[in-house]
Structure 1
Amino acid sequence: MSRPPSYYAPKGGHPGQETLLTDRAVFTEAYAVIPRGTMRDIVTSFLPFWEKTRLWVLSRPLSGFAETFSQYIVEVLPGGGTDRPETDPAAEGVLFVVEGEATLTINGMANRLRPGSYAYVPPGCDWAFQAIGDEAVRFHWIRKAYEAVDGLERPDFFVTHENDVDPIAMPGTDGKWATTRFVDPHDLRHDMHVNIVTFQPGAVIPFAETHVMEHGLYVLEGKAVYRLNQDWVEVEAGDYMWLRAFCPQACYAGGPGPFRYLLYKDVNRHMKLRPVGS
């Protein structure tokens, strides 16, 4: 990457009373757009056993919305954190840091995290999180109920950094459209992927992708015009998009710099044929 990446992180606050109400927020049966301007103090939540911490919930399992995952942006103030982060023993998670520094301790092993750090946390794992330094740490936390398969071992935890993973260019794009894959696509132990997709200015998805994977997309930097179902919407750094399975999608990267987003999708499992709980 010829220039250092940047990672947009919300800070909260509230707009003034003179601000117009008009915004780009959209919620439909096929997709949602949650602009960065909606991530204000009034919509934050808190979690049990987390100290000096608040979060924005971007998606959650809900009829007519996300089906497979939840996604938070978590803000931990200096000195804050937890030694009991996850209360669901079946939940796996991905942490991706966009601002500040922290120590992630997994099974007694301490790992220092900084912007661009990526951690996979398997279900039932013993872990803790502590903000370090004088600034707040902000990170994405993507959670999914792990779908175990008889005969497949569960994935191991790991910690890496975006700078340590080479992006893979899409064929025929001369590197203008590339994906940073933190998990080997052929590793069938994993039932979700969280990648970074990068488009150089002017690059496009040249067809309407229509597929079974559900998506959560958080724009890390840049701007673009994104095709969602039958609509074209403008998005920028800090915006979040949710796309249900089979929602057509495409994009034009607007420049002047790269357009990059953190992408969730569910993978590598049979489709459920019966309602949950049947």
Structure 2
Amino acid sequence: MPDPTYASPSGGLPPQTALHTGRAVFTEAYAVIPHGVMRDIVTSYLPHWADTRAWVIARPMSGFSETFSQYIMEVFPGGGSTQPEPNREAEGVLFVVAGQVTLTVDGKTHLLKPGGYAFLPPGCAWTLFNKSTEPVRFHWVRKRYEAADGIAMPTAFVANENDEPIIWMPGTGNTWGTTRFVDPTDLRHDMHVNIVTLEPGAVIPFEETHVMEHGLYVLEGKAVYRLNRDWVEVEAGDFMWLRAFCPQACYAGPGRFRYLLYKDVNRHMKLGL
């Protein structure tokens, strides 16, 4: 299998001569944020982060997303934070797509390169700095952790997707699979952030319709993706945001198609407000 590649925002601004032919859409069931609209003008700056900006591509919203936020962080050389997470109830996942970053978790230091992954449980002490000479970009997925009686809180860990196997779906001839960083049966975890791979011509052959909401960031390739009633073309650098029970399916190609996938898991449904 070829080495993985990782898309990230291009920034800048389109020329004044550009046509309005983008694919951005926000519906009652899903949103698509194409890479072409992730420009400088839509970045945000965060408290206690130096020389850093962020594309906020998902956030909790009444009537839409209920469980998570997702940022694409860009930290310039010398930048970073000693107070990155303001909410002690929040857990997080970092996934590096460009450059390298120095992450310290509970006193232990790690160098994360592209494909690098870190799980950060609520209340853990962590800092992050770019000690290199090039900007670093990484996804930061945040969720309020939902504790369960008698089940311990998960612990921090660091990994890299290049060291993890792809678990292929049965009956697909090793063309549709998932790189999992957490055992699906580990009930300490109430969210999964995985990587889904579809080889050229592979399909998700039915309309998945389920309670988990999703964030899907396309790391590599292109596909035609079914979102609710629509077939939508997506490519590297695009982000899809799906409400719970939004039907989804996929035809991949012509090259390998991969995306970073968030979903909420392993907890009872809340009843009432």
Fold equivalence (TM over 0.5):
yes
Alignment of 1:45-194 (within 5 A): 45-194=44-193
Give how far 1:262 is off.
Answer: 0.1
Cα distance in 2 for partners of 1:235, 1:57 equals 19
Cα distance in 2 for partners of 1:62, 1:56 equals 17
Cα distance in 1 for partners of 2:179, 2:21 equals 35
Cα distance in 1 for partners of 2:5, 2:226 equals 24
Q: Alignment partner of 1:205: what SS?
A: strand
Of 255, 258, 264, the match for 2:262: 264
Give how far 1:132 is off.
Answer: 2.2
Q: Alignment partner of 1:246: what SS?
A: coil
Give how far 1:64 is off.
Answer: 2.7
**What is the percentage of aligned positions where both structures have the same residue?**
70
The C-alpha deviation readout for 1:11-70, integer Å capped at 9, x for no partner, is 310000000012100100100000001101110001100000000000000013211000
Cα distance in 1 for partners of 2:64, 2:44 equals 19
Give how far 1:194 is off.
Answer: 0.3
The C-alpha deviation readout for 1:133-154, integer Å capped at 9, x for no partner, is 1110000000000001121110
In structure 1, the partner of 2:12 is 13
Is 1:246 aligned with 2:268?
Answer: no
| 1:41 maps to amino acid | D
Please give the TM-score of this superposition, normalised by the length of structure 2.
0.99
In structure 2, the partner of 1:221 is 220
5+ residue gaps, structure 1 = none
| 1:264 maps to amino acid | Y
Cα distance in 2 for partners of 1:213, 1:251 equals 17
Q: CA RMSD for the aligned pairs? A: 0.6
Cα distance in 2 for partners of 1:50, 1:133 equals 17
**C-alpha contact (below 8 Å) 2:10/2:36 kept by paired residues:** no
**C-alpha contact (below 8 Å) 2:13/2:39 kept by paired residues:** yes
Runs ≥4 residues deviating over 3 A: none
Give how far 1:110 is off.
Answer: 0.1
| 1:209 maps to amino acid | E
| 2:206 maps to amino acid | F
The C-alpha deviation readout for 1:177-202, integer Å capped at 9, x for no partner, is 01000000010000000000000000
Cα distance in 1 for partners of 2:18, 2:64 equals 29
Cα distance in 2 for partners of 1:63, 1:22 equals 29
5+ residue gaps, structure 2 = none
Please give the TM-score of this superposition, normalised by the length of structure 1.
0.97
